[in-house]
């Protein structure tokens, strides 16, 4: 596991508790979304907060129907390499699951019945032509999604401090980020913390500077507007999500987009 920085960390960035006995690597983007390098080293987040964030902040989004569909169609497995099955509903109302046969790269439809029946095979990212399956782009803007994105953003700012400053001296106790910390860790704050979700490029887009066959799984960046606003954006297979880390409103970001003529923080010009 790569280490974020060599700084000695002893206080948790979420609860400010003693984290010297922490053994957990904190994944800024969940490991279930194919991230094994963008991490905070042990000591940045205590074991208790690491466990809480995994169960209460990441899991509700990673296991949502839209994200399961995205992970299934893009062949993204969990830490054990298991690619999730994608629930579908046939036209006759019968429940079924789409299963990826990794040996043949074909998708098999398994019907939820007393006897398991395999009906047909699908290749590529296709889905049944009848019935219903969740669309990867159907991730709804919600408080859960806002906490999920804000958690990644808060940790990403900490990582940048470690890389460029060598410590968290400019991060710990930063008053402008405290509402975000409490929102992520304790669910405190307003009922609505604005978050935006939209597709900025197709999952199989090939960029000129990528190796043939490569995909951009996750991209992250942040934007500081004046002295008061920090906007964070992340993209998972081209599905962009962004929040303001210093408050619940995205109005400052919308003003920036309009003033600069940009379409997205990650790609100021159209892809």
Q: Cα–Cα distances in Å, from 4 out to 10, 25, 59, 166?
A: 15, 10, 23, 10
DSSP 3-state of 132: strand
Contacts of residue 229, Cβ cutoff 8 Å, sequence gap at least 6: 244, 246, 247, 252, 253
Q: Is residue 68 part of a domain?
A: no
Q: Is residue 88 included in any domain, yes or no?
A: yes
| One domain for residues 91 and 170 | no
Q: How many helices (H) and strands (E) does the chain have?
A: 6, 11
156 within some domain: yes
Query: What Å distances lie between residue 137 and 47, 132, 200, CA to CA?
Result: 33, 14, 11
Q: What is the domain range of residue 111? A: 75-136
Domain boundary among 136, 170, 185: 136
Q: What is the pLDDT of residue 169?
A: 60
Same domain, residue pair 145 and 253: yes
Measured in whole angstroms, the distance separating CA 271 from the mean position of its chain's CA atoms is: 21
> Among 243, 242, 237, 248, which residue's Cα sits nearest to residue 205?
237
**Is the Cβ–Cβ distance between 139 and 67 less than 8 Å?**
yes
Please report whether residue 199 resides in a domain. yes
Asked whether residue 106 is domain-assigned, the answer is yes
Check whether residue 86 and residue 99 sit in a common domain. Answer: yes
Residue 206, H or E segment: none
Domain end (from 92, 109, 136):
136
What is the pLDDT at residue 166? 64
pLDDT recorded at residue 117:
43
Task: Please state the separation of Cα 193 from the chain's center in Å.
Answer: 17
Give the number of domains in the chain.
Answer: 2
Strand-pair partners of 117: 111
- Residue 196 belongs to some domain of the structure: yes
Strand pairing partners for 197? 241
Is residue 150 domain-shared with residue 233, that is, in the same domain?
yes
- Same domain for 131 and 214, yes or no, is no
Same domain for 154 and 200, yes or no, is yes
Shared-domain flag, residues 237 and 149: yes
Instruction: Report the chain's terminal Cα–Cα distance, integer Å.
Output: 32
On whether residue 125 sits in a domain, the answer given is: yes
List, run by run, the mean pLDDT of 10-residue segments along the chain (271 residues): 53 92 92 90 93 96 92 83 84 79 74 50 45 77 96 95 71 84 96 94 84 84 90 94 96 92 80 42
Among the candidates 114, 136, 158, a domain finishes at 136
Contact 230, 245 (CB under 8 A): yes
Residues facing residue 122 across a β-bridge? 107
256 shares a domain with 143: yes
């Amino acid at each position: 596991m790569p280490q974020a920085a060599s700084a000695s960390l002893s206080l948790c960035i979420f609860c400010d508790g003693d984290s010297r006995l922490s053994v957990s690597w904190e994944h800024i983007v969940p490991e279930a979304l194919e991230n094994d390098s963008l991490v905070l080293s042990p000591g940045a987040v205590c074991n208790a907060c690491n466990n809480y964030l995994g169960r209460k902040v990441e899991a509700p989004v990673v296991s949502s129907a839209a994200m399961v569909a995205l992970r299934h169609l893009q062949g993204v497995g969990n830490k054990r390499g298991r690619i999730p099955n994608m629930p579908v509903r046939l036209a006759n109302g019968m429940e079924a699951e789409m299963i990826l046969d990794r040996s043949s790269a074909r998708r098999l439809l398994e019907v939820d019945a007393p006897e398991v029946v395999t009906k047909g095979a699908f290749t590529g990212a296709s889905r049944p032509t009848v019935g219903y399956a969740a669309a990867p782009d159907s991730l709804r803007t919600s408080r859960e999604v806002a906490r999920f994105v804000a958690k990644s953003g808060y940790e990403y700012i900490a990582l940048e401090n470690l890389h460029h400053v060598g410590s968290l001296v400019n991060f710990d106790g930063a008053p402008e980020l405290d509402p975000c910390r409490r929102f992520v860790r304790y669910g405190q704050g307003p009922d609505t913390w604005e978050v935006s979700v939209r597709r900025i490029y197709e999952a199989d887009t090939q960029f000129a500077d990528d190796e043939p066959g490569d995909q951009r799984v996750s991209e992250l960046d942040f934007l500081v507007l004046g002295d008061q606003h920090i906007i964070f954006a992340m993209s998972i297979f081209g599905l962009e999500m962004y929040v303001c880390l210093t408050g619940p409103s995205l109005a400052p970001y919308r003003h920036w987009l309009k003033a600069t003529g940009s379409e997205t923080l990650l790609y100021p010009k159209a892809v």
